[in-house]
């Protein structure tokens, strides 16, 4: 089981960026996949997750600005980020776990067994 995050880069405040998480070794729609970020000196923060059935959940900090989506054919889970702010600067990670219940938990990092390597997003003011 592997996840690989990509798409990070430098963007100006107010701009947009799309991150992609390539999943291999399992079908993405059997697992919960989430996006997280960690800024320097801060705890890892859960941002969003998508359940096997396609239900989506968002942290208040990104609700209305970020959109998670899944391509079951390509086995990817993307995070479209818009209206970016300097405080969104962080290393972004995707992660997954096999759920035992419906829904998903974007904030509970302990649930996630599989993690990608992270991709850096820098938002300039």
| Neighbour-count burial for 54-78, b at 16+ CB within 10 Å, e otherwise | eeebbbeebeeebbbebeeeebbbb
pLDDT digits (tens, 9 = 90+) for 52-103: 999 999 999 999 999 999 998 889 999 999 999 999 999 999 999 998 888 8
Tokens of 1: 């089981």
pLDDT digits (tens, 9 = 90+) for 10-64: 999 999 999 999 999 888 788 999 999 999 999 999 999 999 999 999 999 999 9
Residues contacting residue 49 through CB under 8 Å, at least 6 positions apart = 32, 33, 34, 35, 56, 57, 68, 104, 105, 106
């Amino acid at each position: 089981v592997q996840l690989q995050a990509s798409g990070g880069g430098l963007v100006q405040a107010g701009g947009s960026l799309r991150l992609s998480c390539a999943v291999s070794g399992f079908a993405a729609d059997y697992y919960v996949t989430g996006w997280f970020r960690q800024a320097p000196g801060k705890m890892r923060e859960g941002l969003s997750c998508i359940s096997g059935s396609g239900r989506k959940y968002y942290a208040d900090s990104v609700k209305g600005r970020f959109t998670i989506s899944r391509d079951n054919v390509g086995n990817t889970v993307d995070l479209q980020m818009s209206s970016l702010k300097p405080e969104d600067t962080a290393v972004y990670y995707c992660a997954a776990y096999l759920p035992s219940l419906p829904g998903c938990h974007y904030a509970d990092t302990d649930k996630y067994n599989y993690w990608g390597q992270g991709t850096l997003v820098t938002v300039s003011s």
